Structure 1
Amino acid sequence: MPPSSRPRRRSTAALVFVVVSAVAGLLAAGLVLPAVAAAAWATDAASEELTTLPVEFDAPAQSQRTRVLDADGDLLATFYAENRVYVGLDAIAPVMREAIISIEDHRFYEHGPIDPIGTLRAFLRNTASDDVTQGGSSITQQYVKMVQVEEAAKAGDEAAVEAARAGTYSRKIKELRYAVSVEQNLTKDEILERYLNIAYYGDGAYGVQAAAEHYFGTTAAELTLAQAALLAGLVQNPTAYNPVENERAGLQRRDVVLARMAELGTITDAQATKAQKKGFDEDAVETTTSGCTTSDFPFLCDYVYKTLLQTPSLGATPEEREQAVLRGGLTVRTALDPSTQEATQEAVSAVVAPTDPLISVMDMVEPGTGRVLAMAQSRPVMGSDAEEGETYWNYSVPPALGGAQGFQAGSTFKAFTAAAALQDGLPLSTRYDARRTVDFSGASFESCEGTRQVNGQWEVSNSTGTNGVMDMNLAAQRSVNTYFVQLALDVGMCDVTRMAEKVGVRSSTADAPVSSYDDKPSFTLGTVEVDPLSMASAYATFASGGIHCDPVVLDSVTDASGASLDVPDGSCERVLDEGVADAVNAMLAGVMTQGTGARVATADGRPQAGKTGTIDSNAATWFVGYTPDAAGAAMISIDNARAPFKAGEGGRGRAGLKGYVVPSTGRVLEGSGSGDAGQEIWKPAMESYLDGRPATTFDAPPPALVYGDGSSTFRGGPGGQPGQPLPGQPLPGQQAPGQPAPGQAVPGQEPRGRR
């Protein structure tokens, strides 16, 4: 500024000082009228500024961080826009209160909303510099400014943020008017409490509690004199005095605070000298990150976060719900049992490592409640370093909840065809001539739109080589493709797809729900891309006797005041006749005792049921199984974006898992649901969860759904003469020697309780 302009600036500043001081007294007394203001101001702009100011200042609740806890109450993750934990004044060390008052506004308890002495001091500094305004603000005025900045930031209004920080007289007048309102409605202690909680202390720490945790690993209540002085010094310039980035500047500013406290007699010179000798221990710094990347279980954490964003009690829109999570100070308790999660993750990681060109998943849910017990995947680290096996995709869930893609589940879908047939009255004794290879080209079936025919050439073969006349039990035990295709065609694809959807199967393909596959008989062979969590949920519907529950990961949510908010409860409802569910359980229990799942069965011999699944070319293998207490889905799939499965210039990459040597372990994969996903992942994970829990049994199915009404249950075959059951296999409807009948209780085991 040219020297000639300084007298004019000083004259203007002097006038404003006199006016502000006069108006301050009038405002505090509530006597300012538009006419008085107009007379007081030298310009029309000043008059308009004063007459348009609202009288009341609305001070909303301060943003606080949200905590997510596991079932044991331990911290799983933290979410925040501002890392703050609001604490009452009685939870803040007296020395911290004294430090902040000494350095920022030592007459705080003596003056009103404005400190005339401090304002005069700032005026004298302003007239000696080219800056517009400096200092002079009382703690109440600073609090007003901080609230305006935070509210503007919350709204995403950068212009309002800058306006709230602008060094203009106009802004100072507005700030003063609001300060009057604050002091009329709050006590000095209440203002100080809010100030200490809203202030920014640098390095991402908002409020004195978060700052105490961050810089010293302590609480606001336990701050020492040296610590309190350092934090008090940060408020003036949190960046310049940040001791993590500039220890020397931070300690020098701390010493200024200590000297000021001694000067005012708040502490003695000896106390100040002793505190000034304290250094800053950078090793004590604790960083509280926001989000899931540093969580022990990042993808389950991410599932929790995305579930919160869909929880209506947190707001009417996704944006409102996000603000509630990031600023609402929520306490979120989840159903996650850390020991189960760790054991499940260990089971997955023992087979497939993050850097392997494979994707493996194991999900576990509780029948009758939908509570998610575990969610593990072979790439458990959330991040962007793909070479190290990091990812942001949650392979357990659909794309809407963070999933990358779905996976074909193969023969695990046969259970849904069986359930639809049983619901339509076809018993387990229903027999077909299930030849090794059958041409279904042109076959008729019922879709939801009417009778249709199989399009084009469609020849189906049995991967196990099984053939002959057999019932539903044997067909499930041997996973016989030609049996279940015939069953699906007889039942009708409309009923089959609707059954899958009712019990909980969800398509991962956009705009292609499960019900849209009613024109595709190949549905029964698992050609739909689904997420593993929905498969665990669907099989849990059978385990619970026909009660389907959506997956539930939230046990409770409370807001910052401790009030409970509604959380999704699984929307549990009966979707399947109890007897039908019991018959499905009996059929799939046979898979575990006499079929492809025999080697997957847990060592304790408790009642359990399940189904293997393998898709074309062994590109993915599955095992989905359950007891009355837990249902789990395990899967291993190729990653077609990585060599050797990625298609290259020379054409298609390696087809599938059979015979593939896993690079990280040297394990040779069988390419079967029982040997890979089942025996190596599902079994150890389930054994860990069930260890120490009493065994419960499935209920016996109605005889009519086992044997029919006594008439012939042979449904014929696609031409030719009926075959015969495999040598050594029980006749349709009979159990193997020494084995309990389907649903029969095992001595010493408890019956299943209905949920």
Structure 2
Amino acid sequence: MKQGRLSAIPTVMSLLAAFLAVSVVGGFLGAGLLIPATAMMGTVVKSGTEVYEALPTEFTSVVPQQQSELLASDGKTVIATLYSENRIVVPLSAISPWMQKAQVSIEDHRFYEHGGVDIEGIGSAVAGAALGGTARGASTLTQQYVKVTLEKAALDRGDTKAAKAAKAVTASRKLQELKYAAQVEKEMTKEQILQNYLNLVYFGDQAYGVEAAARHYFRTTAAKLTIPQAATLAGVVQQPGANDPVKNPKAALTRRNVVLEAMHRYGYIDATQLKTAKASPLGVIKADPPKNSCAASSYPYWCNYVVNYLKTLPAFGTQPNEREGRIRRGGYRIVTTLDPDLQERAAESMGRIISPQDYPTFGAAATTIESNTGKIRAMVQSTSYSPTGKPEPGKTQVNWGADFRYGASGGFSVGSTMKLFAVIEALKQGKGESYVIPDIRPPGTPWYPRDFQNGCTTGAGAPWTPGNAEGDDPPPGADIGIATRNSINTAFVALAADIGTCNIRNTALAMGMHNSSRAAEDGSQDGKPLSTYPPTLLLGEDASPETMAQMYAIVANRGISCPNTPLESVTDSDGKKVDLQLPGCRRVLEEGIANQAAGIFQTVMTEGTGRPVQIGRPSIGKTGTDADNETWFVGATPQYSTAVWAGTPDQNNGSWGRMRLHSVDGNARYYPKAMGYLIPGPIWQGVMRAAHDGKPVVPFGQAAQPADDGGTVDIPDVRGMAVDEATTAIEGAGFQVTVGGRVASGYPRGTVARTRPTDRAPKGSAVTLRISTGVRSTPRAPTANRAAAPPAAPPAAPPAP
């Protein structure tokens, strides 16, 4: 006996056992069946039948893994296509009839005639194997569906042993497959079986299911497959590697023509169609590979942010790994909040100031949210994304615009943007904009632990000796408005001592302010508590741009906080909207308090450190500069809030001065010193102008009248007076006088144009004189399409910090 015959014996016996068992059980054996009635065959029949009867009958279909799609807010721009298997499940009605006919022709031409088990096919397989050939024709398309399903279910649960057993050529496996096939035929229609099979099988080159294969090989859909295209795909299934149309086009073409012959043989195409199809080229137009990871996305930082955010949502499972698995396998349509146009223009604004060329020494990031929804509309930074995660010039995987849990950044010291919370706490205590801050000490004067509220004070070591970043020191009678507009550190230290440092911290916590460190194991919002140390609490908690954008949005949104979210909607593979159970907006400040704060921080933009970067409409804003090489500009309107950070992301070595930054077009600019208005400020201005392009002007809430802080009195009307004359008049009314900058007005040049405050103020408080330029300004309202153009470059001489 030849070796080929010897090696075929196990296959023959397993197929014969299956054949006899199914035939006996099914009542198919007839008198004319040409099988020797020997004792051995009788034993095979008996044992096969007993085994068959004892096999399980519960067959469970699997839900095929399919790709999830991340889209921008327009619902069209693809951010990424996430999957473990590249599959898109479609109904049979969305699969070309030619594809259905081609698959049936080459795999199981009696598919519509048998009940899941083809006795004739098994008989042919027995004969072929006995003669030393291959066991072809043994499996119906239904049996193949069962086999693929069992293998897929095993792989999904990580059981590689069971997956291998699902394909093993053994009598027991074959019997189980046959029994399951018979069950499937009872429970499903032929159309359902064919639909499930075509969505489940592998078509080579990482394309699973017919829809993904049609897109991958022909840049079309399963519904539009032509006769030759359908025949090509149907021919791949038997041996996906050998018949891959991309890697092995000659083999694929030969196999395609075999399928076409089968389609003609069984009456699915006529001779003319056969001739035309066989004469056509293979016609593979391989599509670009799907963006199946965030590293392949056009928006990699944003993609990672969204995936990390989804991993926190219980709607997708109980554990982060489980949630990510579902996201990559569940066929979700995830529409995110990213505005592609704003994202592009925000990147352009940043690229005019700083670029990947400046990293690893310098970097910048910006996050823009909708003030009244928390939806993140843009998130950009000055680097390129590093696919490997290894340190490279100009590249990093860390998303500086996000909290640690979403982007792996520990945040940066936010500098004077923290003064927001001290102002709000003062307002809550009834101390208005004109409240004169007591005990303002000269820079370098020590402050001791006893000067601050218990529980939120300095350490027992050396006293704290704060100074001011730049500009003139404040007059003794500086009020909250002056201190805020000019970002006077020493005034805010005195204010904090007056109103209570722990009270400031409690206000910040109530607004949702948190440190951007590693997420806590208990799932709380931050990894470590908000600082109780006055220097940090007042002048530099470590936070992310997304956090600071939310804090200033609260003020612009009249005291209502809307948690940041990157999601518009999520629908599952059946088109059903997923209930994400996201937290809603809630009031964290009284409206009157928020509106008063908005009034104060608007003057930062019109009279203070934010003046150089106004956007052509009312806005609030605040600069921030930290000695540890970080600068900020944060500001908002009732529509949008943007926070921009620029600094030294990986080191604090004093290099954030006398530096040269490069725009994306390669131009370099020298900066003698980094300030909030100078580097992040112009970026913020460009982003906010882009965000508001074509949007109507929305006013801030009407501020309530400030509380009577010790008896307000009328301020003399000194408009048009000389400075000396005006000073005498105002001091005579019991106020202190400071002289501010020049403003456009119709009063003679050098005279007083107006005062700040204008009407009433607490006796003893400071009144600022604004000096006229002698030229009346002509206000220019923003056009319907675009706000006024930004200045060519930041001013050479900075104002006070």
Task: Name the TM tier (shorter chain).
Answer: 0.7 to 0.9
Measure, in 1, the Cα distance between the counterparts of 2:183 and 2:240. Answer: 28
Residues 521-563 of structure 1 deviation map (CA, whole Å, 9 limit, x = unaligned)? 0124433221111110111111111111110111111111121
Partner residue in 1 for 2:381: 377
* Greater C-alpha radius of gyration: 2
What percent identity do the matched residue pairs reach? 34
Relative distance call for 1:654 and 1:733 in structure 2 (3 A) is closer
Note if 1:672 corresponds to 2:675: yes
Of 462-471 and 507-516, more deviation after overlay is shown by 507-516
Q: Matched residue of 1:293: which SS? A: helix
Measure, in 2, the Cα distance between the counterparts of 1:220 and 1:505. Answer: 51
150, 153, 177: which is aligned to 2:152? 150
> What's the CA shift for 1:44?
10
Q: Matched residue of 1:256: which SS? A: helix
381, 390, 400: which is aligned to 1:395? 400
Q: Matched residue of 1:460: which SS? A: coil
Partner residue in 2 for 1:101: 104
Note if 1:364 corresponds to 2:368: yes
> What's the CA shift for 1:217?
0.6
> What's the CA shift for 1:675?
1.1
Of 501-510 and 482-491, more deviation after overlay is shown by 501-510
Measure, in 2, the Cα distance between the counterparts of 1:514 and 1:497. Answer: 17
Measure, in 1, the Cα distance between the counterparts of 2:769 and 2:582. Answer: 41
Q: Matched residue of 1:522: which SS? A: helix
Relative distance call for 1:451 and 1:591 in structure 2 (3 A) is closer
515, 539, 551: which is aligned to 1:507? 515
> What's the CA shift for 1:226?
0.9
> What's the CA shift for 1:460?
0.7
723, 735, 739: which is aligned to 1:727? 739
Paired residue type of 2:470: T
Residues 475-521 of structure 1 deviation map (CA, whole Å, 9 limit, x = unaligned)? 11111111111222332232222222222322122359598345300
Structure 1 unpaired stretches of 5+ = 29-38, 646-652, 713-722, 740-745, 750-755
> What's the CA shift for 1:48?
7.6
Relative distance call for 1:262 and 1:44 in structure 2 (3 A) is closer
Partner residue in 2 for 1:457: 463
Note if 1:446 corresponds to 2:458: no
Residues 568-601 of structure 1 deviation map (CA, whole Å, 9 limit, x = unaligned)? 5442111111121112111111110111110111
Partner residue in 2 for 1:91: 94
Relative distance call for 1:43 and 1:531 in structure 2 (3 A) is farther
Partner residue in 2 for 1:655: 655
Partner residue in 2 for 1:405: 410
> What's the CA shift for 1:348?
1.5
Partner residue in 1 for 2:169: 167
Partner residue in 2 for 1:753: none
Paired residue type of 2:138: G
> What's the CA shift for 1:158?
1.8
Partner residue in 1 for 2:623: 612
Relative distance call for 1:490 and 1:130 in structure 2 (3 A) is farther
Residues 631-687 of structure 1 deviation map (CA, whole Å, 9 limit, x = unaligned)? 00011111436xxx7xxxxxxx553144434484312234011011012x1001110
Of 225-234 and 654-663, more deviation after overlay is shown by 654-663
Measure, in 2, the Cα distance between the counterparts of 1:535 and 1:165. Answer: 57
Partner residue in 1 for 2:36: none
Relative distance call for 1:738 and 1:185 in structure 2 (3 A) is farther
Measure, in 1, the Cα distance between the counterparts of 2:182 and 2:693. Answer: 65
Paired residue type of 2:504: V
Measure, in 2, the Cα distance between the counterparts of 1:48 and 1:189. Answer: 32
Paired residue type of 1:398: D
Measure, in 2, the Cα distance between the counterparts of 1:725 and 1:439. Answer: 27
> What's the CA shift for 1:325?
1.3
Measure, in 2, the Cα distance between the counterparts of 1:344 and 1:491. Answer: 39
Q: Number of matched residues?
A: 706
> What's the CA shift for 1:26?
5.9
Partner residue in 1 for 2:761: none
Correspondences of 1:10-25 after superposition (within 5 Å): 12-13=13-14, 15-22=16-23, 25=26
Q: Structure 1-normalised TM-score? A: 0.87
529, 533, 538: which is aligned to 1:520? 533
Correspondences of 1:567-646 after superposition (within 5 Å): 567-602=580-615, 604=616, 606-617=617-628, 619-640=629-650
Residues 281-332 of structure 1 deviation map (CA, whole Å, 9 limit, x = unaligned)? 4544342231222323222222222222222222333344223312221112
Measure, in 2, the Cα distance between the counterparts of 1:199 and 1:659. Answer: 59
> What's the CA shift for 1:27?
11
Residues 614-645 of structure 1 deviation map (CA, whole Å, 9 limit, x = unaligned)? 1105x12110001111100011111436xxx7
> What do you get for the CA RMSD once the two structures are aligned?
3.1
Residues 681-735 of structure 1 deviation map (CA, whole Å, 9 limit, x = unaligned)? 1001110111111112222322234x525279xxxxxxxxxx9765337475757
Correspondences of 1:28-427 after superposition (within 5 Å): 42=44, 50=52, 52-74=54-76, 75-129=78-132, 135-357=137-359, 358-384=362-388, 386-387=391-392, 389-427=394-432
Does the CA-based 8 Å contact 2:511-2:588 persist in structure 1?
yes
Relative distance call for 1:736 and 1:60 in structure 2 (3 A) is farther
Paired residue type of 1:541: I
Paired residue type of 1:459: T
Measure, in 2, the Cα distance between the counterparts of 1:105 and 1:549. Answer: 58
Measure, in 1, the Cα distance between the counterparts of 2:206 and 2:4. Answer: 42
> What's the CA shift for 1:236?
0.4
Relative distance call for 1:561 and 1:125 in structure 2 (3 A) is same
> What's the CA shift for 1:402?
2.4
Q: Structure 2-normalised TM-score? A: 0.82
Does the CA-based 8 Å contact 1:329-1:559 persist in structure 2?
yes
Note if 1:481 corresponds to 2:485: no
Relative distance call for 1:588 and 1:434 in structure 2 (3 A) is farther
Partner residue in 1 for 2:722: none
Measure, in 2, the Cα distance between the counterparts of 1:582 and 1:461. Answer: 30
Does the CA-based 8 Å contact 1:485-1:524 persist in structure 2?
no
435, 440, 464: which is aligned to 2:442? 435
Paired residue type of 1:481: N
